[in-house]
Structure 1
């Protein structure tokens, strides 16, 4: 596994951050396990956050990219490690969703991990070609009621959060559209622009360049807050029949269950302090991420109702990866 050293700082940083040293592992690096390849969005966030955490912990923070099985190889890597804080896991929606859609995956985020805190959220958008006759989500839903067997929407694949978002809309609006799953999202925007599909669900950071140049238009935003760059586009929770609903992608850090409470507390404090760093926040915002810090308890409280929404979607849409 290729290791990339992202931070190397003196132990004096602990005093500056107001943290108490964790003597058991204070001379060893921390491995931050990322379930996707270098260069992807999860890897980008890890590369930005890890150095700032390292400064505050007085230790090296090393990224290990353990790609494969929708992030589940990374989960197993952490679960096979010692519960001493030497390996932490960068998880997100996949951590909660994959066990719901694949019965062979047996881990539980509540049982097997201790949340350290949330880093970011990333909105998704329902988008259509610029020339589309649909200008709002209500327009698309109305059309789906009339011609659902012909109306197509693209996502990066079955069981992705983009698929979940479209399935949520279909469930709540009681409509049916034809799902066109791609192998990843690289070609979806181009096919949408070329009108090979009627609509697509895109991560905002992917959609934004095409929205800015006017080649596609957004009909809804999946987050709980309006996106400043799309101030005229409604949140999904603003739409009739979707009161209060939100479904953002999110990213958080987790330690293995059984990790000493002092280690968990130190890592949580370092993470939250890092996320207040103005330069870090700017780097992530410029890359399309919303810095959304929560501590460990806050992350748990955020995940639980989201998990209920995920499970309802899985059951209603009969989504399975087996």
Structure 2
């Protein structure tokens, strides 16, 4: 071996050793991803995709644990109280900041008690109408609400959910009145609008796709800045004159406060690889999650901005927990 080659080999070994020292060989044992919601939702599906892929990549168990309750606060608090070593991670969504808007505070400080790692993706919110109510877009919604004796109502996935907030924002911007009916989840709201018991339901847009395709529901619009890939024929609320209106459910990976920067970088880099994989992207798209990967700084800024936005909207629309 030449001296130059030997020197290069030593440099490579030293660099690898240095990186390993920074992360402590992370991960060298099982990693938990806590999902503070029940199984089957977007956060759970996303966590299980990440867990399966990272387990193959890391050659260590990656266990997804659902710790539902208190609108996501139980699982989040468990992560907040965990050691800051990277072996307990949190897959949260924007319900965290809607909770802040509704309640005025959380049992933890989202900015101080958690370390942002990566923004992962979004799910647009869609407003659907039963065909018998002759509402197909924002213009016809405004006209229906303006009819003498109109008593429009709408169902959402629950009081204080992102879907509830999105509709209250729409009401403010469009100048319409509609009574809110909070369901215990999105599925019951979809079922009642399909059955004609309520004229409108605002839910995660992916839940509306099959019913829009079959003609059983009319989708009035979607909340994202760009059209939803699964329903490209449906215009956004912004396209229909309600600007600004970029109001999607977001998903993010976080850890306890003071997570070592080297661990954050390691997790973020490997999760980026998962999110770029065509198979993973297809699986998530089928579940209604559109990958939108942004770094820790962008995630921290999003949490700050959305916290302020939801607090203000809750005050203006008088959204309060029951």
TM-score under structure 1 length normalisation = 0.88
2:237 maps to 1:236: yes
Larger Rg: 2
Report the equivalent of 2:249: 249
Aligned to 1:179: 180
Corresponding position of 1:299 = 299
Contact in 2 for aligned 1:34/1:42 (Cα 8 Å): yes
Q: Deviations over 1:38-73 (max 9, x none)?
A: 233321111111222334444321111111111110
Aligned to 1:215: 216
Whole-angstrom distance in 2 between the partners of 1:112 and 1:143:
46
Q: Which residue of the partner structure matches residue 9 of structure 1?
A: none
Specify the alignment match of 2:277 in structure 1. 277
C-alpha deviation, 1:185, in angstroms: 2.2
Shift of 1:292: 1.2
Q: Is the 8 A contact 1:115 1:296 kept in 2?
A: yes
Indicate how the Cα distance of structure 1 residues 296 and 20 shifts in structure 2: closer, same or farther if over 3 A, else same. Answer: farther
Q: Secondary structure at the match of 1:116?
A: strand
Correspondence 1:87 to 2:88: yes
Kindly indicate whether residue 142 of structure 2 is the aligned counterpart of residue 135 of structure 1.
no
Q: Using the TM superposition, name which of 84-93 and 307-316 deviates more.
A: 307-316
2:11 paired residue number:
none
Distance across 2 between alignment mates of 1:149 and 1:244? 27
Q: How many residues align?
A: 305
Contact 1:20-1:266 within 8 A present in 2 as well:
no
1:30-109 pair list within 5 angstroms: 30-103=31-104, 105-109=106-110
CA contact (8 A) 2:76 2:90 kept: yes
Q: Following TM superposition, by how much is the alpha carbon of 1:126 offset from its aligned partner in structure 2, in angstroms?
A: 0.7
Measure, in 2, the Cα distance between the counterparts of 1:274 and 1:173. 40
The 8 Å contact of residues 127 and 219 in structure 1, kept in 2 or not, is answered as: yes
Q: Deviations over 1:97-137 (max 9, x none)?
A: 21221246232221111111111211111100123311211
**In structure 2, what is the equivalent of residue 121 of structure 1?**
122
Question: What is the CA–CA distance in structure 1 between the aligned matches of 2:203 and 2:158, rounded to whole Å?
Answer: 12
- 1:208-241 residue CA offsets vs partner (Å, 9 max, x unmatched): 121111100101101111113322322122222x
Instruction: Give the TM-score normalised by the residue count of structure 2.
Output: 0.88
Aligned to 2:7: none
CA distance in 1, matches of 2:302, 2:104: 24
- Whole-angstrom CA distance in 1 between matches of 2:220 and 2:305: 25
Structure 2 unaligned blocks of 5 or more: 1-15
Question: In 1, distance between residues paired with 2:251 and 2:107?
Answer: 21
SS in 1 for 2:60: coil
Q: Secondary structure at the match of 2:276?
A: coil
> Secondary structure of 2:201's match?
strand
Distance 1:175 1:37 in 2: 33
